[in-house]
Amino acid sequence: MKRKTLLVAVTATLGLTGLIAYAANSQRFGGASVTTDTARAAPPAPVAATASHSQRSALASGIPRGGVNAARVTAADVGDLDSFSRNVRWLGAKQAIFGVSMDCNVWSDGDPSVPCTTVSAPTGTTTFHYNDLLQIQLPASAANSLLCHWLAERGDVYFTNNGNTAPVAARLRYTYTATIDNPVLQDPSLVNPVTGQPFNGSFTTFSLMRVDTPYVLLQNNYVTTTTSNTAVCRGGLVSKQALIANYGLTPALADKFMKNPTTVHLNVSGMVSNVSEGTFVVGLRVVGD
């Protein structure tokens, strides 16, 4: 693959429903399987609640938020009371490309800045891990109570079985996570209950998206695939609720967290087996309330 083709591959389309990334070498690979979640924006025109985070079992009585009668709405009614009826804030979008190849120098046209893992032998298993594929740096108070991710990716993969006299199991598997940096987490007395260690300024989320594609290949057979996957925030990339319930922060510290600058780093780790080349383009959009 030449660099010109690689650059064309990184071109992405930003749509109303998120960010769709297009991968390289589309003329070589065919077919697609698509899974999509749908995001729905909250109603417009927010009005701040008058109660504190820890006390708020109902919104300010009689005050409509965005045209919604918010009186006596509780967490039991809507689940996420902090963001109820607030506007969606657009907070940025970036994209990245990475790959696996038997010759990374050719694959990237000699550009060492493009992440690529060398496949030493297609019949074996090759693992890869990249921290900080991209990062989005948010200013203080970018959101009220949560940050949500719209994650879209496309992978073009060449599965092969050369030289084996029997069928082989080929596989592509990888997972995206995010690392969240925030000054509030620099406090050495704060311990991450997930790891049992101090936060040291950041924590890494659970899986944002997991892709697992197995194949059985006959002797001297090959398969080319194009997969397109999208994952949209549900509980939040990070939220006040998660900071309190999952990471042990007090309501006051959760409020302070959202009022500080935050950096989101996108990571990926996975493995390939009986794969000679793969090209992946991923796009991340962050929204808040």
Domain-wise residue ranges, the chain? 3-41+88-288, 45-86
Tell me the residue type at 263. Answer: T
Residue 265 has pLDDT above 50, yes or no: yes
pLDDT, mean of residues 199-213: 93
Q: CA torsion sign, 256 to 237 to 152 to 177?
A: positive
User: Hey, what amino acid is at 111?
Assistant: D
pLDDT given for residue 12 in this prediction: 37
Strands 221-232 and 33-35: what pairing?
Answer: parallel
**Mean pLDDT on 11-20:** 35
- pLDDT, one tens digit per residue, over 277-286 is 999 999 999 9
Q: In angstroms, how far is CA 85 from the centroid of its own chain?
A: 24
Report the pLDDT value the prediction gives residue 68, as an integer from 0 to 100. Answer: 57
Give the per-residue pLDDT at 46.
Answer: 40
SS3 content of the chain, % helix, strand, coil (to 5): 10, 45, 45
* Predicted pLDDT of residue 170: 87
Residue 51 has pLDDT above 60, yes or no: no
pLDDT of residue 72: 76
Rounded Cα distance between 265 and 284, Å, is 10
Which residues are bridge partners to 122 per DSSP?
none
CA dist 97 → 149, 209, 240 (Å): 18, 16, 31
- Residue 247 phi/psi, 5-degree rounding, is -115, 5
Question: Is-contact 126 160, C-beta < 8 A?
Answer: no
DSSP 21-72: E--S-TTT----EEE-----PPPSS----SS-TTT-SSBPTT--BTTB--BT
- Please report, for residues 1, 7, 169, the alpha-carbon distance to residue 109 in angstroms, rounded to integers and kept in the order given: 7, 11, 30
What confidence tier does 224 reach under pLDDT thresholds 50, 70, 90? confident
Is residue 57 pLDDT above 80, yes or no?
Answer: no
pLDDT for res 160: 86
Q: What pLDDT was estimated at residue 78?
A: 79
pLDDT digits (tens, 9 = 90+) for 156-171: 999 888 766 678 888 8
Q: How confident is the model at residue 148 (pLDDT cuts 50, 70, 90)?
A: very high
Residues 269, 274, 279, CA angle at the centre, nearest 5°?
50
| Cross-strand partners of 280 | 98, 155
Of 287, 263, 9, 5, give the one whose Cα is nearest residue 151.
287
Q: Which of the four pLDDT bands, split at 50, 70 and 90, describes residue 196?
A: very high
Residue 175 to residue 177: CA distance in whole angstroms: 7
**Is the pLDDT score of 25 beyond 90?**
no
For the segment 238-259, the average pLDDT, to the nearest whole number, is 95
Distance of alpha carbon 24 from alpha carbon 229, whole angstroms: 16
Question: Do residues 274 and 173 touch, judged by C-beta distance below 8 A?
Answer: no
CB of 186 closer than 8 Å to CB of 201? yes
Q: Give SS3 for 86.
A: coil
Task: Measure Cα distances from 115 to 73, 121, 130, 269, 271 in Å.
Answer: 48, 19, 8, 12, 15
Position 227 scores a pLDDT of 87
Q: Does 63 have pLDDT greater than 70?
A: no
Asked whether the predicted pLDDT for residue 184 surpasses 60, the reply is: yes
How sure is the predictor about 288, in pLDDT bands with cuts at 50, 70 and 90?
very high
Q: Give the C-alpha separation, 196 to 233, whole Å.
A: 26
- Give pLDDT, residue 120: 81
Mean pLDDT of the chain: 78
Q: Region 64-89: what's the mean pLDDT?
A: 73
